[in-house]
Amino acid sequence: MTGEAMTTDAAAPSPFTMVTGDPSAMVCEGDVCYVPGATAE
């Protein structure tokens, strides 16, 4: 596994304890998918 799991992402406005996991994991928002914090694809 890359990255550190089970760490809190203090920047996320989430009620959950965010698992960092792999920081390069992709998410989709609108019609673009991207790595959070990186340039949108």
Partner 1 sequence: MSRRVNVDFPDPLVPATITRRGRSGSGSEGPSIIRAYPTAEPCSGTGIGGRQHPFAYIVSEPIKIDIWSDIACPWCYIGKRHLESGIAALGADAPDVEIEYHSFELAPDTPVDFQGSEVDFLAKHKGLPVAQVHQMLERVTGVAAAAGLDYDFDALQHTKTLKAHELLHFAKEQGLQLELTERLMRAYFTEGRHLGRVDDLVALATEVGLDADAARAALESGRFAADVQADIAQAGAYGINGVPFFVFEGKYGVSGAQPAEVFTQVLTQVAGERDEAAA
Cα–Cα distance for residue pair 5/35, rounded to 1 Å: 17
Which residue from 10, 18, 37, 38 is in contact with partner 1, where contact means CB under 8 A? Answer: 18
Q: How far is the CB of 34 from partner 1 (least distance, A)?
A: 8
At residue 34, the 3 state secondary structure works out as strand
Q: Is 38 in the site for partner 1 (CB under 8 A)?
A: no
Q: Is 13 in the site for partner 1 (CB under 8 A)?
A: yes
Q: Is 37 in the site for partner 1 (CB under 8 A)?
A: no
Structure tokens at 38: 């990186």
Tell the burial category of 34 from Cβ atoms under 10 Å away from its Cβ (0-12, 13-18, 19+): middle
Q: Could you list the residues that contact partner 1 (CB under 8 A)?
A: 1-2, 5-6, 12-19, 21-22, 25-34, 36, 41
